[in-house]
Chains A and B, each alone.
Chain A
Amino acid sequence: MIEAIGLTKAYGDTVAVDDLSFTAEPGRVTGFLGPNGAGKSTTMRMILGLDTPSAGTVRIEGKAYRRLPDPLRTVGAMLDATWRHPGRTAREHLRWIAATNDLPDKRVDEVLELVGLTSVAKKRAGGFSLGMLQRLGIANALLGDPRVLLFDEPVNGLDPEGMAWIRRLLESLAADGRTVFVSSHLLPEMAQTAQDLVVIGRGKLIYQGTMDEFVARAAGDGVKVRSPHLAALRIALTERGIGFEESGGALVVSGMDSDALGELAFAAGATLHELSPQTGSLEQAYMELTSEAVEFQAGAVR
């Protein structure tokens, strides 16, 4: 569990993080979302005791980070996958980190196996691809078998296979009952993984709640349906007093989820060619939510 209370970080007149309060619960993946420059990384550095907050506190499992004995056994983090000495082998890199918290070398070999780097354990990390560095960073985060995990933009620059691997990993970590806190500037990638969401813009909290609520709020409750038997469907919907809109040869039905709509269509004898909840507007909603908080607005294209 991570609890931030009134977290603030100011550099002179610039306020990077402004009175930010949120919690990340165990057993869930919490997405930490915001445009570039919103203060996500600064917040994560404050959680890990690397930066001192100007005001406010953050507690991990009820304690300030600096008060955790052998912190790697409680919190694992990957803030930047490129953090390693290029001349040091993957195994030696993890060995020194393990040594700081009295973790055995055996654990180093275990995490290397877990992330699939055993075959390159004795290779210098300077020659690693970004995908390999991400795996090394994740191995580092998992070293102390921690209850709380933080990842800063873990899928940035990864190929689809790497993204899928990280997504499965995050899900399995949360399924073990761990707190998983993942930042990203891309909503779609979070929508597939996170159950909870903390959205910030310009250092301020914009939204905290479940992903489902956010999706519901963002998408309204529209479900798009295409059918060669639209007439039958219109009658069935009108009979039940359910609102819908015509949209280019399709109907966008509101006030009914896709399960119920599918059953209704079946009962009405309408074949469906498409039945899709309007998640396309999810990204739209996120953009609207954060547009005022984007640090660098692009000018209109002339």
Chain B
Amino acid sequence: MSVLKAERIKLFSTRSPWWCAGIAVVATLGFTALFFSLSGGEIVPTVANTQIASAQGRTVVLVLAVLAAASEFNWGTMRMTFQAVPSRTPALLAKGAVVGTLSAAIGLIVGVGCWGLATLIKPDADLALHTAADWRIVFGQVLTFLLTGLLGVGLGLLLRGVGLTLGIALVWTQLVEGLVLFIPTVGDDIHQWMPFYAASQFAGADLGAGPLKLGAPPLGPIGYGVYFAIICLGFFAAGVVINLRRDS
């Protein structure tokens, strides 16, 4: 418990998590409001489309988590942590738990908030949660955001530098995932195995079948959720394990 308390104090005693959390919520709710109030027929008011901005929210949470982990190496506080908790594992798991919990909370606010806002803006559309899939799409943001937080912590622990890690995270989410579509022949197929595409398949707007005219995805939504979880947990585990042995 002591390590959890320490990581909690660490996370909430700097400004960046507050800023990131605020941006994640305001930006996603704002985009959703704009989409649903200004779009005519382009965006059909479905439960899935209420989560159209969730991908941007995940990117901001990724930044939050990367900063929380990588900045500790920049400022020497990771060494102090290892000095205080020489077995290291409890402290690193606690960081994952605390950042993951905050990310999950942001995911809950984003998922439910965007859906709620859309129902307010389009009272005539049937946006009620009828099916298990509807529930998964809205409340699944808790999971996709939690996993994104763990991915960010894992990347920060692996790469140990704010600039490098943020650069890679942003280039990946903002450029690579979209640009692979332009690779001739195989681009579409590769795109359907990109991690954040997978997260959106589990809980998000399905743009692939619509505007992007992609073929049928190779996995179902649950399969994509598991795929995304394996990637995120894999990076987190690698980040923890590599720090157990490495000199700091």
Contact = CB atoms under 8 A, between A and B. Distances in A.
A87 B6 contact: no
B2 A100 contact: yes
A45 interface: yes
A83 B86 contact: no
Interface in A50-90: 50-52, 65-66, 68, 71-72, 77, 79-80, 82-89
B2 A102 contact: yes
B85 A100 contact: yes
A109 interface: no
Given A66-B86, A100-B81, A85 B14 contact: yes
Interface string B67-98: 00001100111011111111100010000000
Contact of B6 (A89, A100, A140): A100
A49, A99, A102, most chain B CB atoms within 10 A: A99
Nearest to B5: A99
Contacts of A68: 86
Interface string B1-30: 011011101100111100000000000000
B71 A85 contact: yes
Interface string A85-101: 11111001101110111
B42 interface: no
A48 interface: yes
Interface residues of A, number: 32
Given A82-B76, A83-B76, A101-B2, A92 B9 contact: yes
Given A85-B77, A86-B75, A97 B86 contact: no
Contacts of B124: none
Interface in B90-139: 91
Interface residues of B, number: 29
B82 A49 contact: yes
B80 to A, nearest CB: 6
A99 B6 contact: yes
A101 B81 CA distance: 10
Contacts of B15: 87
Contact of A65 (B76, B81, B86): B86
B174 interface: no
Nearest to A103: B2
A89 B167 CA distance: 28
Given A79-B79, A85-B77, A102-B2, A71 B84 contact: yes
B2 A99 contact: yes
Contacts of B10: 85, 88, 96
Given A50-B82, A95-B9, A96-B13, A80 B76 contact: yes
B213 interface: no
Contacts of B71: 85
Contacts of B72: 85
Counting chain A CB atoms within 10 Å of each CB, which of B3, B9, B247 scores highest?
B9
Nearest to B14: A87
Contact of B76 (A52, A84, A92, A100): A84
B84 A100 contact: yes
Contact of B9 (A84, A96, A102): A96
Contacts of B39: none
A106 B241 CA distance: 35
B83 A50 contact: yes
Interface in A21-54: 45, 48-52
Nearest to B78: A83
B248 A50 contact: yes
A128 B16 CA distance: 20
17 contacts: A49-B82, A65-B86, A68-B86, A71-B83, A71-B86, A82-B76, A85-B13, A85-B72, A88-B10, A96-B6, A97-B80, A99-B6, A100-B6, A100-B85, A101-B84, A102-B2, A140-B80
Give the 4 A-B CB pairs with smallest separation, nearest first: A83-B76, A92-B13, A99-B6, A100-B84
